[in-house]
Amino acid sequence: MSQEQISTEPSVIVHHLFGYLFPWDITRALEFALLKTFCVPSISRLLAQTGEFRDHTQKRYDDTGLLIAEIAQWGYKHERGQAAIARMNAIHGRFKISNNDFLYVLSTFIYEPIRWLNQFGWRRLTEVEQEACYQFWCAVGDRMQITNIPDSYMAFEQFHDRYEIEQFLYASTNQQIAEATQMMFLGWFPVPLRSILAPALMHCLSL
């Protein structure tokens, strides 16, 4: 594979970012992005109504992670990537979800990893890599029948930030889903460490 291919093809760039260059960082960034979506009451309310994320948090987290990993590894043109997108469409198709909520969640897959890596990664992403992330996830969004996707990197980023300002509101379901997710994270550690890690986790989320 030539360097030119690596630097110009969005699917190849995303594959390398997720699989080789920043796998740990991108996983953490997407966990943070997941928590941010719970700040939108229409999203947390749906998750609370289905009970999946509240009652089967680890399974829901694992299922989502596996689907995203398939898409990032194989791309949206490969049959495995297409199968993962079709599975997501089947899951989401059972519920009434606004196009704007879809757009916001899609935007978090672009901008939260980029911002995380630019602040905490071992290097900043290049403009080509950032644009590739935008193009890749917009193509995935097209295949999820998401409409009105902003037509540039900057326009979509502005939508992302504006949506948070307008839609981040307190709701009891936000807290329910966030607490269930927090317990899942803490469950990854031995019991004696959880009481120590709980306040540290909350502090990190408040930064």
- Residue 42 confidence (pLDDT): 96
DSSP 17: I
Q: Give the per-residue pLDDT at 1.
A: 41
Give the rounded percent of residues in the chain with a pLDDT score beyond 70: 88
The number of domains in the chain is 1
Token pair belonging to 33: 């992005």
Query: pLDDT tens for residues 93-107?
Result: 999 999 999 999 999
Amino acid 93: pLDDT: 92
141 close to 149: Cβ distance less than 8 angstroms: yes
Span 130-154, pLDDT tens digits = 999 999 999 999 999 999 999 999 9
Domain of residue 20 covers 3-206
pLDDT averaged over consecutive 10-residue blocks of the chain (207 residues)?
58 96 94 90 92 75 92 96 97 94 98 96 96 98 98 98 97 88 74 70 55
DSSP conformation letters of 35-86: HHHTTSHHHHHHHHHH-HHHHSHHHHHHHHHHHHHHHHHHTTTSHHHHHHHH
